Structure 1
Amino acid sequence: MNRPEREAAARRIMERTPPPLPPGLHADVVRRGGRILRRRTRTRRLLWLLLLAGVLAFTVWALTARPWVEPPSDPTPPSIGW
């Protein structure tokens, strides 16, 4: 099949009338779309909540452990026997 034949076939396909849709398809699609949107919203809220909890836990840990403070140095042991 060469290019003009392919173009003619594509034109014939596009000029045909689309087949009729089943009667309840639109309602099913709208219901399913709403369910998907609610699920995405719930997932997004859960992920934000987990991120907030992680930031809060890290902040509490950092304030109690204070990892930026240098630990106190231990004194050197006495030098006996020199």
Structure 2
Amino acid sequence: MNRAEREAAVRRVMERTPPPVPAELHPDVVRRGSRMVRRRRIARRLAWLLLCAAIVAFVVWAVRVQPWVEPPSTTTPPLTNW
């Protein structure tokens, strides 16, 4: 098949009328779709909440521990030549 034949075949498939959809299917699809949207919205908000909580926890830890400061020396140099 060359390009023109493939395009013609695709156009024929796309121009066909779709099979009829049962009338009782529409309310079920709408209900399921709205439920999916609601769940995704809740999951997205929960993910943002967890991310913000993790950032706040990290900032609080960093302020308290101060990992950028060099720890104090635990030994003292020997005192000689006094």
The alignment's TM-score, normalised by the length of structure 1, stands at 0.71
The 1:72–1:24 alpha-carbon spacing in structure 2 relative to 1, beyond 3 Å, is same
Partner of 1:75: 76
Distance across 2 between alignment mates of 1:5 and 1:67: 67
Give the C-alpha shift of residue 18 in structure 1. Answer: 2.8
Deviations along 1:31-63, whole A, 9 cap, x unmatched?
111011101100001001100110111011111
The alignment's TM-score, normalised by the length of structure 2, stands at 0.71
Partner of 1:36: 36
SS of equivalent to 1:23: coil
Gaps of 5+ in 2: none
Partner of 1:45: 45
The 1:76–1:36 alpha-carbon spacing in structure 2 relative to 1, beyond 3 Å, is same
Q: What percent of counterpart residues are identical?
A: 59
Gaps of 5+ in 1: none
